A and B are shown apart, each in its own frame.
Chain A
Amino acid sequence: MTEQEILAGLGEIIEEIAGVPADEVTPGKSFVDDLDIDSLSMVEIAVAAQDKFGVEIPDDQLKDLTTVQDVVNFVIKNAGSSA
């Protein structure tokens, strides 16, 4: 999985769950400040990301993932361990 593939997959997830157009999901965006995504939607995104990428994002680590790039980096870092 390349960084681009993860970003595209994350865009699809966020569009479906939060109704934010996928092309607005760019690396530097903050979930709360730029995309207006709240903590419960973040949980839904984490669950969908687990299904799509095979990487579990626990609640205690989810709170530290504040930008789109943070999630992409998390998936890349953990993809090997849980795949």
Chain B
Amino acid sequence: MTSTESVSSFTSFPPAAGARIMSLGGYQPANVVTNDELAARVDTSDEWIRSRVGIVSRRVAGPDESVADMAVVAGGKALAGSGLSPADIDLVIVATCSAEAAIPNTSAVVAHRLGIVAPGAYDLNAACAGFCYALATASDAVRVGTARHVLVIGSEKMTAWIDPYDRSTCIIFADGAGAAVVGPVADGEPPGIGPVVWGSAGDMASKIAIPDRRSYMYQEGQAVFRWATTTLHPIAAQACERAGVDVSDLTAFVPHQANLRIIEAIARRLGVPRERLADDIVHAGNTSSASIPLALSRMAERGEAKAGSPALLLGFGAGMCYAAQVVTVP
């Protein structure tokens, strides 16, 4: 018995040399909320919001539109784009921190609604870093052989947890979903999802929090800004190094769309030119774990992120969780 066979005997599929993103999909609610609309409700202005966070408008889900509803649409698009059938998906991971309820998990519900029968299904909460965490675990599952094809979705209804009268949060957070289908690379091909560099800073966990189920979200903007602009660019650089990709070769840098000034500062420190920085936040707002796949799918659709070229993803947020990896744009 070879070592490969002994590994296979514990798993469902042959191990893969590497994993890749096969397709992407995104969904945004129809309702656009402008800065002027917010300024009519709280003491702020279009100019103030644009200068502080770089957001011009954001999308907000309807009262009956759930995290699962948005995940189904984004996941369905990614599945259609992959050319696979629902029966080919073995594992569904939904990254979310804003689900309406803790039980049942969102992923099992979403899988059922997409016609994916009896997959492994779990939700993953690493807040705004959730999509990158989920992508890393999906890649590992494919490489080891516990799954062949994985549907990874980031879906968030952040506005359900935001005080509509708190101007420090209501101007930033929004709703949406983004998804990717992850599968094995062809024999002899290099991995399309590079090594993840991840971590957390639980000592700062109180800086972004929803203290209990009756509370709204709270964040200490200055502390988060300082943390994000000083600690994350070396993490992103390390992800490039581990993937063997030079920063100058990136077709796109897609950080979590937290705040335009944060991501511009990180890009500057990393040496990524402004035109390669994803700035989806301007019209999407901060959609937590959905922001990276939403931004990446849009950049890929528009040809701003070139198919077959490396893009750097960087998730970061509450729990002060962070994760970065280089992926090949599908």
Q: A: which residues have CB within 8 A of B?
A: 38-40, 42-44, 46-47, 59, 62
Out of A38, A39, A47, A59, name the residue touching B229 (CB < 8 Å).
A47
Contact status A62-B222, CB under 8 Å: yes
Contact status A59-B223, CB under 8 Å: yes
Mask: chain B, 257-298; 1 = CB below 8 Å from A; 0 = not = 000010001000000000000000000000000000000000
Q: B: which residues have CB within 8 A of A?
A: 51-52, 220-223, 225-226, 229-230, 261, 265
In the bound complex, residues from chain B placing their C-beta under 8 Å from that of A46 are 226
Q: Chain A nearest CB: distance from B3 CB in Å?
A: 49
Contact status A38-B226, CB under 8 Å: no
Contact status A40-B222, CB under 8 Å: yes
Contact status B230-A47, CB under 8 Å: yes
Q: Which residue of B lies closest to A36 (CB)?
A: B51
Report Cα–Cα, A47/B222, bound state, in Å. Answer: 12
In the bound complex, residues from chain A placing their C-beta under 8 Å from that of B51 are 38
Q: Does more than half of chain A's interface fall in helix, strand or loop, or is it mixed?
A: helix
In the bound complex, residues from chain B placing their C-beta under 8 Å from that of A38 are 51-52
In the bound complex, residues from chain B placing their C-beta under 8 Å from that of A42 are 222
Report Cα–Cα, A42/B230, bound state, in Å. Answer: 14
Q: Does more than half of chain B's interface fall in helix, strand or loop, or is it mixed?
A: helix
Contact status B52-A43, CB under 8 Å: no
Contact status B52-A59, CB under 8 Å: no
Q: Which residue of A lies closest to B265 (CB)?
A: A44
Report Cα–Cα, A59/B222, bound state, in Å. Answer: 7
Q: Which residue of B lies closest to A62 (CB)?
A: B222
Contact status A44-B229, CB under 8 Å: yes
Contact status B226-A47, CB under 8 Å: yes
Q: Which residue of A lies closest to B259 (CB)?
A: A40
Q: Which residue of A lies closest to B220 (CB)?
A: A59
Report Cα–Cα, A47/B231, bound state, in Å. Answer: 11
Q: Which residue of B lies closest to A59 (CB)?
A: B222
Selected A-B contacts with CB under 8 Å, 11 pairs: A38-B52, A39-B221, A39-B222, A40-B225, A42-B222, A43-B222, A43-B225, A44-B229, A47-B230, A59-B222, A62-B222
Report Cα–Cα, A42/B51, bound state, in Å. Answer: 14
Report Cα–Cα, A46/B223, bound state, in Å. Answer: 12
Q: Chain A nearest CB: distance from B268 CB in Å?
A: 10
